[in-house]
Structure 1
Amino acid sequence: MSKPMETPGAQNMRRSLQVLRVLGAHHEEGLAVNEVVALTQLERSTAHRLLTCLVEEQFAERDAATRRYRLGLEAMRLGFASLKRAPLLASYQPVLQRLARISEDTVFLLARQGDYTVCLAREDGAFPVKIFSTRVGDIRPLGIGVGGLAMLSGAPDDEIARIRTQHAPAFDAAGLTPSQISKVIARTRRTGYAELVDTVTQGVGGVGAVIPTTGAPFAAISIAAIKPRMGAARRAELGQLLVSTLNGGG
């Protein structure tokens, strides 16, 4: 079979896409420059130039400590945009609507991508005070926010420690110290749902639970409301509602 004709003048674009593909295939562990060179067969100077450009445009990120490259936020935004018509959203939109109707509060659908979560959808309940701290398309490090915390709780302890260390400024800003994270993770694993108050946004509380899957958790649903509506008893009630609903009992 003859090789298809390549578009003239697009060589740099093809090389950039080649680098993005290998970064995507090795996003979790990241790649050093020499590994990118080996996987793409590009000259080292070319690979380094392309990686530098991708970092500048936020399609890649470079870990300052390990000097390894991963996909950046802009690459993730493109992937998340494609999820808006994905089966996950179609399957769980009725669930979001039902939970919003029952709770009268704001319900979110979140998905994991590497070390981050993205908000894929939200449904507002009838309560007049809405939560606008999270909007569709918002991206946060995994564990910052109650839905992301629910997903983080399903990860191995060494991965949790790595993510907490790698994204320490975001966790510190949310008041989630290593000891606090350990306590919250243990409680989430015990109850089946995560709960947070006054972390990402002061005066807001919420609960979240993962969507059951055979592998590592990749999606979660959370319910958020102003703090006066999220006392301990109501968090427990809504957390149990989430777990029951997502496990087919609600």
Structure 2
Amino acid sequence: MDKPASKPTESATGTAGAQSLRRALSLLRLLAEHQEDGITLTEVMAASGLERSTAHRLLSCLAEEQFAERDPDTKSYRLGIDAMQLGFASMRRVPLVDNCKPLMQKLARMSGDTVFLVIRQGDYCLCLAREEGHFPVKVFTTDVGGRRLLGLGAGGLALMSQLSDAEIERIHDRHAEEYLHANFTRECLLQAVRRTRAIGYADITDTLTVGVSGVGCTFTASASTQAAISFGAISPRLPPERKKEMAKLLMEQLIQQRSATGDGGQPA
């Protein structure tokens, strides 16, 4: 049985009397992070710190309401159809996308290249928006709603650079085979992250697609959300010197947006 929790106060922990709701929302986030392979009840307990009875009760309720589903063979949980429908509905109008769209259009116009907006979603980065300049890269497969492992694309590498080395190693170990397919050993991934931290922006060449390069920079989207904007182009359009120019342009424009709007544009 869970220990009785003291009543939360609005100033200390948020809205009072909403502990069960917060726990359920926390489990939904946990399911989203493990959507690919699913997560078992035991793993949910370990990750959430909840007692078995509480975790099982909340997961059962989420499953009854179709916000979660349980695989009868593996006994693992994933997001259910109703959770996915909410996600799809929210994609139609995302405040972050609305705020960043003018900047992305400006960057695409100024550079002529393709501009991406991504956020972290568990071990992956999720593409929220894409703007094409007058010289768009037609070989890209990343589109709005698409996901890639953190560290592989310019935006994903920029986001990963904000994590601790220990967390990066855990992410790599969970997806070692996929990273290996992209020629990323654990040490190669850490080297790319350390270089990103050192120069202040992500710089990739041939990571996702041979002949395609990119640069990316993170910014604080909200108190709890880091996002990244990146450029993508065929490698001849992004030699080392132009990468530096594009990174400088990106960081300057993010700072300008921050100054103009007061939010959504502080480079990390």
Report the TM-score when normalising by structure 2. 0.69
Aligned length: 223
Pair 1:241 & 2:230 matched: no
1:54 paired residue number: 69
What RMSD, in angstroms, separates the aligned Cα atoms of the two structures? Answer: 3.8
1:240–1:72 CA distance, 2 compared to 1 (3 A)? farther
Alpha-carbon distance in structure 2 between the residues aligned to 1:174 and 1:232:
22
SS at match of 1:212: strand
Q: What residue in structure 2 maps to residue 23 of structure 1? A: 27
Task: State whether residues 147 and 222 of structure 1, in contact with CA within 8 Å, keep that contact through their aligned partners in structure 2.
Answer: yes
Q: Distance in 1 between matches of 2:118 and 2:151?
A: 12
Number of the residue aligned with 1:101: 109
Secondary structure at 2:203's aligned position in 1?
strand
Match for 1:23: what amino acid? L
Distance 1:235 1:216, change over 3 A: farther
What is the aligned partner in structure 2 of residue 38 from structure 1?
Answer: 53
Match of 1:183 in 2: 191
Q: Give the Å deviation of 1:163.
A: 0.8
DSSP 3-state at the match of 1:247: helix
Structure 1 residue 206 corresponds to structure 2 residue 214: yes
Q: How does 1:1-250 map to 2 (within 5 A)?
A: 21=25, 23-26=27-30, 32=42, 37-40=52-55, 42=57, 54=69, 56=71, 62=76, 78-79=86-87, 81-127=89-135, 129-212=137-220, 218-248=226-256
Cα pair distance change 1:217/1:164, threshold 3 Å: farther
Q: CA deviation at 1:116?
A: 1.7
1:220 aligned counterpart, secondary structure: strand
Greater shift after overlay, 26-35 or 116-125? 26-35
Q: Give the residue type in structure 2 aligned to 1:39.
A: T
Q: Which residue of 2 aligns with 1:3?
A: none
Structure 2's unaligned 5+ residue stretches are 1-22, 259-268
Q: Deviation per CA, 1:53-73: give whole Å up to 9, x if none.
A: 82549xx995xxxxxx66589
8 Å Cα contact 1:144/1:170 also seen in 2 = no
1:187 is paired with a residue whose SS is: helix
Question: Shift of the alpha carbon at 1:125?
Answer: 0.4
Is contact 1:122–1:136 with CA below 8 Å preserved after alignment?
yes
Cα-to-partner distance string for 1:25-75 (whole Å, 9 max, x where unaligned) = 54569652665742256499x79x989x82549xx995xxxxxx6658995
1:170 deviation in Å? 2.1
Work out the CA distance in 2 between the residues paired with 1:140 and 1:99. 23
2:69 alignment partner, SS class: helix
Rounded to whole Å, the distance in 1 between the matches of 2:213 and 2:135 is 15
Q: Where has structure 1 moved over 4 Å in runs of 4 or more?
A: 19-22, 25-31, 33-37, 69-78, 213-217
Q: CA deviation at 1:186?
A: 0.9
Query: What is residue 263 of structure 2 aligned with on the other side?
Result: none
Contact 2:116/2:131, CA 8 A, preserved across alignment: yes
- Amino-acid identity (%): 42
Unaligned runs of 5+ in 1: 1-18, 63-68
Contact 2:114–2:137, Cα closer than 8 Å, also in 1: no
CA distance in 2, matches of 1:107, 1:246: 13
Per-residue CA distance 1:206-246 (angstroms, 9 max, x = gap): 01111235756521111000111121111111112112222
Distance 1:160 1:100 in 2: 31
What secondary structure is seen at the aligned counterpart in 2 of 1:149? helix
